[in-house]
Structures are given as structure tokens and as C-alpha cells.
Amino acid sequence: MPIGTGVRPGENVKLTSWKSPSDPSPGRYSAGFGTLTLPEIFIWDNDTTVWRSGPWNGQRFIGSRDVESADLSMYELTFSNDNQGSVSLSFDNDTLMYHFVLDSQGTLLQRSWSSANQDWTVGYNVPSTKCDVYGKCGQFASCNPRKNPLCECIQGFEPKNDTEWNKGDWTNGCKRRVPLQCERENSNGGRGGGGEGDGFLRLRKTKVPFSPQRSEGNENECRRSCLQNCSCTAYAYDTGLRCFLWSGSLLDMQKFSRNGVDLYVRLAGSEFGKYIYNSHSFHSFRYAFSLRSIWVSFFLLKSLADTPNSRPIIISIPVIGAAFILAVCILLALRQITGRRENERNAKLLFERMVALTSGDLTGSN
């Protein structure tokens, strides 16, 4: 199936819709590959983008919505170097017949021939939800077709215009609540630009924003590369395409239930929370907090044990014991996150002391 962007100036091969179901003259919609560094399919209404597939990673378009593999059976996309910029689409089942159609309403459909019904059946089709529409929620916002309202500012951002946003007009999108540390340093005339105080918000199973820049390196190098560049607003890592970096606004994001990638959006340090992926420092803070909580329980339990009235001790032991078990569970979970040997030794020692103390109190109360 030859379709794509030609290497000669001004040459582009596209699918073009009919003007109407009964009029085969050229319509207003077209579909093809955009002139980007990464292969990506677009649908246009004249010159306006209607939908995009997300980049091709060697196996699939990572911006495509949730579909079963049987719905979209294409498994290979190859750009040839024949001075015509043709694109070859291969399928995983050559015994079936497929074809793509761009209808007069701008919907791209994949049809397969049903031998049983002796008719064409529609499989994959886009756009099919309101969230498929390009830029539905504006910049720094994500669209979720399973929620009402559809659009939501990502954490760390707020609507540019509350009145419009509350009325369902999301086109202006969202703005950052707190400037990045590197931006504040630059505005104050400082030399800093690395933004060590900035962190990353992890958005799981997300349609990546428009116009990423590809970079080499592993996932850790990808994160570091973004953090060291103040203009970098997000990064993502895919095993097929490796590192993606974004500068400026993030546009056309969507929440998926199965497909998509993990997108890391840069936020100021003051926006840190349980959804922020930054460094071991934040996890160590939570770990230390839990450690202090357990020590408080330890001394509370010891003071009760020293009380001459044994009846209150018998009543308090189960309650304090439950609190201790909960605190230990939290400690063990956070220990897996930090993986620091010193904290593990402290936790083990603390646990042994608490068990010994609890056993002694229960024995003395009988």
C-alpha cells in the first residue's frame, strides 16, 4: 500500500475522502504521514489536523487507542528509499483481505473480508471517541473517554480560564501552577539551568504528546538528559524507539486503559507528592517518617509496660499491637522501594526489639 511523504519537494501521497457517499469527487478529508522525524499517520480536514496515530515504534503506533490485536493486524511498516517515499504495510495473516478507507466524514476504517458473511466488516476505525480529536483538551491536559468531564489538567497545572473550562470549553488548556526551579534561577540571573529541584510526574498508559524529539540512551540517561535541559518539559522511554523528549507545551494527550506509554512530566519541587517520580530523597523522607512513627510506638508501648496498673495494659496491647503491625508493613514496603541496606538493618533490629518487648509484656500481664 503506497502512502506517505515523498522525498521530492511538495510531493505527498495521501488517502483522500469522497465528497459524499454518493459523490466520488475529492472531499475535504485526507490521511497520510506527516512531515515529522518519526513515522506517524495523520487525518486532516483540509489543512487542520483531526487525528494522529502517535509514532510507530516498530510494532505499533503508540498513540493508538485501546484495540485488540485482531482489530489492527498490521505488523510491519517499512519506509523505502526509492525517491518516492513509499510505505509498505504488511499484515500478520496473508490469507485475509484488508483495505483502508477514509470515508466522507473523515473516519479512517480498516475493513476485512468475511468469507462467512461474504461481505466487508469494519475493524479498527478512528477517530471514534471525542478524545480521539486532536488537541481536544488543549495544552497540559489529558482526555479520558471514560470520565465526565472528559478533560482534566494534569497534576501541577490549572485551567488557563476557569470560566471557559467549567463550561466545557477546554481549547485553551492549562498552565503551570509553580515555575520550574531552573526557570526561577534563569529569571533571577543565576547560572543554574539544570533544575535539580525539579521532578517528574508519571502518567501511565498515555498517548504521547505531539511532536517529540528522539534521543539515544537508556531510560536513566533519558531522564537525566531532560532534567539537565530547562526547556525540556517531559520525557518518555519506549523499548522500540528508546528516548523521547518534549520542549514547550504538551498537546493531545489521552489516557488509555491498555496501550500507550508512561509519560514523565516535569514539575517544580514544591509539587512533589505521591505521584512524583524524582529521586531517592523523597522516598527516604517517607521512610524516615515511618521509622520515627514506629519509634514513637515503641516508647509508648514501653511506658505502658512500666505502668503499675496491669488492666489498662491488657486493653491497650491489642490496639497498639495492631498499630505496630501496620507501621511495620509500611516500613517493609518502603524498604523495598529504597533498597538501602543500612535502613534494612535498622528495620530488622527495630522489629526484633519490638517483638521481644511485646512478648514480655503479654507474659507479665497474665
Do residues 75 and 91 touch, judged by C-beta distance below 8 A?
yes
Do residues 63 and 53 touch, judged by C-beta distance below 8 A?
yes
Q: For domain 132-277, give the CATH number.
A: 3.50.4
Total length of the chain: 366
Predicted TM-score (pTM) of this structure = 0.68
**pLDDT at position 157:** 96
Where along the chain do its domains lie? 4-128, 132-277, 280-365
**pLDDT at position 220:** 94
- What is the DSSP secondary structure assignment for residue 56, as one 8-state letter? B
Name the more confident of 23 and 66: 23
Characterize the bridge pairing of strands 15-20 and 23-33.
Answer: antiparallel
217-276 pLDDT, tens digit per residue, is: 899 999 999 999 999 999 999 988 889 999 999 999 999 988 889 999 999 988 875 444
C-alpha cell at 224: 537525566
37-58 pLDDT, tens digit per residue, is: 778 889 999 999 999 999 888 7
